[in-house]
Amino acid sequence: MRSQEAIKAEASLAAGGSALDVVREVFLSMRPRQWTKNLIIFLALPFTANQYWHLSDVSTMARMILESTAAFATFCLLSGAVYLLNDLEDMEKDRQHPFKRRRPLASGRLGRTTAKTALAVLLLVALPAAFLVNWVFGAVALVYFTIMLSYSYQLKHVVLVDVLTISVGFVLRAVAGAVAIEVPISPWLYVCTILLALFLALGKRRHELLLLEGDAGLHRQILDEYSPQLLDQMIVLVGAATLMAYSLYTFSAEYVPKNYAMMLTIPFVLYGIFRYLYLIHIKNEGGSPEEMLLSDRPMVIDVGLWLVSSAVILLFFR
């Protein structure tokens, strides 16, 4: 049942809230801070530079940037719809969480009917827009939404499958970025993406489990199936696998420079893994990896250096 506080807040918004207030609450429910995940779509640009375009080919580069930007915007709308759907499904459980209770739907600032209407509008815009990019991108976007829909209603309640499904969502973003500009990407990038996403998802589960302690199952029933010890073991295993997969990519992938210059980026990945482990074990963070990437200065610098060094090597070393 809804709390009396939530009912009163919803009634107050319905009675006196302006249209601008409603739009703001819908926008917040789409979790724009988490749209940083969709930046994975742009990885297809530098990681295909050696094969399909060069800085001197201005027209091809401009076309690909425009297509990638359209793909990014489409996935922001689509992922925003998924977050809105997830908040509708978990509204009562979110009220048991010390932070998620502040979300527009859980707090009652956004009504359920309004949220459903916004969800329908987002889908009516995002899915056709995806097919306008190209039909393969549209198919990938549709698969992404279908899997996330299954996650919201069923898969998030299945132990281990829940975190694997989140990781698949990241892989589909990488795939979407490639098909949007109609280029293939090395399978190594997909392997590294799913491992890194799994690494972050396990850290998030660990943070939720420790933050909520005995009440963890009230917020997310699947948390009763995990323990900090099990999650710690999986995090170490997946972290090591991520580093190994990326290291192998830097010198064995078909299209990386043959002078092994990409190996110079391995220290940035190693530091990033170590920094994340430090933050979740010492600082008790990890509940929101995307915010951590925006707020933790050493992590921001590390990711920036990795991006710059990778782009320079892929663009100028052949």
Q: How far apart are CA 198 and CA 160, in angstroms?
A: 10
Which has more pLDDT, 230 or 290?
230
CB atoms within 10 A of CB 297: 7
Q: What is the CB-side half-sphere exposure of residue 54 using CA atoms within 13 A? A: 6
- Of 70-84, 204-218, 223-237, 276-290, least confident by mean pLDDT is 204-218
Q: How confident is the model at residue 103 (pLDDT cuts 50, 70, 90)?
A: confident
Residue with the two structure tokens 């979300």:
103
Tokens describing residue 28: 């917040």
**In contact, 152 and 82? CB cutoff 8 Å:** yes
CB atoms within 10 A of CB 72: 19
Residue 305 above 80 pLDDT?
A: yes
pLDDT of residue 77: 95
- 67 — phi, psi (to 5°)? -65, -40
pLDDT of residue 136: 95
* Residue 175 one-letter amino acid: V
Q: How far apart are CA 107 and CA 97, in angstroms?
A: 11
Q: How confident is the model at residue 21 (pLDDT cuts 50, 70, 90)?
A: confident
Give the global pTM: 0.85
Non-local (6+) Cβ contacts of 110 within 8 A are 10, 13, 22, 25, 26, 29, 104
Phi-psi category of residue 226: left, alpha or beta, with phi > 0 → left and psi -120 to 50 → alpha: beta
Which has more pLDDT, 158 or 9?
158
- 241-257 in b/e form (b: 16+ CB < 10 A) is bbbebbbebbeebebbb
pLDDT of residue 220: 66
- pLDDT tens for 233-280 read 999 999 999 999 999 999 888 778 888 999 999 999 999 999 999 998
**Average confidence (pLDDT) over 39-68:** 80
**Residue closest to 121 by CA, chosen among 27, 230, 37, 36:** 27
Tokens describing residue 170: 């990241």
**In contact, 204 and 286? CB cutoff 8 Å:** yes
